[in-house]
Structure 1
Amino acid sequence: MSFKLFELVGTDPSRPFSPFCWRTRMALAHKGLSAETLPWRFTEKSAIAPHGSEKVPVLLHHDQPVVDSWAIANYLEDHFPDRPSLFGGEGGRAMARMLNAWGDIAIVGGIFPLIIADIPKNLDAVDAAYFRQSREARFGKSLEEVMSGRDAGVVAFRKSLEPMRQALKKQPFIGGAAPNYADYIVFGGFQWARVTSPFKLLEADDPVYAWREKLLDGFDGMARRSPGHAV
């Protein structure tokens, strides 16, 4: 099944860290599929431009590109219906669509100000300069200024997880008895933070922490084996 996956990395090509690439990694594992990893860095846009994208993940299936983590999840579900379902039916797919937006806004958007100045430490000089310039232009302040309030910011972030926390008190995964793509949407953000920053996002007694630990151990510990911080 000739798959190739462009994944965002820094100085260590074996350490992918994009939250969106992790969604795709987990989706492939859920389907029992594997892909050749093609390490990609922020300033290597020319490598994926022929595939119609400026961002990763980009999945190549027999050299045909599928761009964007949500599109990839749908592609895998539709083209490999005989393998474990990512959504558990059309109702699950519809709910996952909402969670995909929530994951972008509340999880990735909520975590970003808490770890933003730690990310360049994982990059070489050229990519670190690109990241700093582009993100400081977006925020209108230095990365360090954006991150300066993270001790207070993490309290608000933890509170924002309460709907998820309440669900996890009644069931082991967002998807129910077993994880599905809804879990991978949210997990991607936490894995991104784990790989790039030593900042503690969750308390050890939080049901969200226990959920994250189970996903780190899933698929024979695939995510846990990726070098990260013990937070």
Structure 2
Amino acid sequence: MPSPIIFYDLPSTLSVNAWSPNTWKTRYALNIKGVAYKTEWVEYPDIEALAKKIGAPPTGAKADGSPSYTLPIINDPNTGKVVSDSFLIAEYLDATYPSGTTLFPPGTKPLMAALEAGVIGAIGSIFPYQLASSCYILNPSSEKYFRATREATYGKKIEEFSPAGAQRDADWAKAKEGLVAVDGWLSKNGGGKFVMGNTVTYADGILGAWLTWIKITNGESSAEWKDFASWHGSRWGTYVSNLQSFATIV
């Protein structure tokens, strides 16, 4: 029997622990694929040292040109492969474990990349709010790192990212309008539960991850999530509920 893949994820102060949209893409992919894995939790300041220790490739470059290391990362003891980046991880899982559910049906990779760009574009107006919400649920060492790096990028305090008021309301209204297009795309899937009808794929890992981020960081009982979930005929709340069987945290 294959050994479990080691999946490195970012923890939080919440009981569910997992919160990051980028790592949720990989968690959904692992659960959809049906391969055995186990989670190891890594705080933000410890990611670079871990990546270098296990030989994980960088996923970008810092402002000074040095390599940047991010999660998700998987370490597969069955093959000795260490893979970074959620899309590359999903590709690896399909190539290495073909007997599981196919994450990328033939010819769909470009469409899934386009889907992600479309979703990010649709909800981008609430990213400042979401970044602040994410900061507030982190453990102390990660909160300090997250706050310092995001404040340096945006040039203002986390508390100033999306203060309550007219601008925040406008940002949420813009996201609702932006998701009209995504709702329209899903309306063409024949009435199925997932992006591609009744066939679950990595497209659901992508869309599900971004929606799950909003649900978890705000709280399932929050006014923000309840409002968001109700948009477009309760499309988004129903969709996340349909993915619940693939949201296992192990």
Residue 176 of structure 2 is aligned to residue 158 of structure 1: yes
Q: Report the counterpart of residue 47 of structure 1 in structure 2.
A: 50
What secondary structure is seen at the aligned counterpart in 2 of 1:86?
A: coil
**Higher deviation after alignment, 5-14 or 123-132:** 5-14
Question: What is the aligned-residue identity percentage?
Answer: 27
2:137 matched to 1:81? no
1:25-78 CA distance string (max 9 Å, x none): 111111111211110111112122332341100001114201100000000111
- After superposition, residues 55-66 of structure 1 pair within 5 angstroms as 55-62=70-77, 63-66=80-83
Which of 132, 142, 145 is 1:117 aligned to? 132
**Other-structure match for 2:63:** none
Q: 2:108 aligns with which of 92, 95, 119?
A: 92
RMSD, aligned α-carbons: 2.3
Counterpart code for 2:236: V
Partner in structure 1 of residue 64 of structure 2 = none
Contact 2:12/2:139, CA 8 A, preserved across alignment: yes
Larger Rg: 2
Q: Give me the whole-angstrom Cα distance separating, in 2, the residues matched to 1:115 and 1:61.
A: 32
Q: 1:203 to 1:126 in 2, by over 3 A?
A: closer
Partner of 2:195: 174
Rounded to whole Å, the distance in 1 between the matches of 2:132 and 2:146 is 10
Unaligned runs of 5+ in 2: 59-68
Q: TM-score, normalised by structure 1?
A: 0.85
Deviation at 1:109, TM superposition (A): 3.9
Query: 2:211 is matched with which residue?
Result: 190
Does structure 1 conserve the Cα–Cα contact (< 8 Å) formed by 2:124 and 2:175?
A: no
1:34 alignment partner in structure 2: 36
Aligned to 2:65: none
Residues of 1 paired with 2:210 and 2:237: CA distance?
Answer: 13
List alignment gaps of at least 5 residues for structure 1.
227-231
Q: Could you tell me how far apart the structure 2 residues matched to 1:178 and 1:110 are?
A: 30
Displaced runs of 4+ in structure 1, greater than 6 A? none
Matched, 1:127 2:135: no
For 1:153 and 1:114, the matched residues in 2 are separated by 9
Partner of residue 66, structure 2:
none
2:211 and 2:204 map into 1 onto residues whose CA distance is 11
The one-letter code sitting in structure 2 at the alignment partner of 1:92 is T
Q: How many residue pairs end up in the alignment?
A: 220
Letter of the aligned partner of 2:46 in structure 1? Answer: E
CA distance in 2, matches of 1:180, 1:203: 22
Q: How far apart are 1:197 and its partner, in Å?
A: 2.0
When normalised by structure 2's length, the TM-score is 0.79
Distance of 1:207 and 1:13 partners within structure 2: 26
Matching residue's letter, 1:99: L
Q: What's the offset of the Cα at 1:110?
A: 4.3
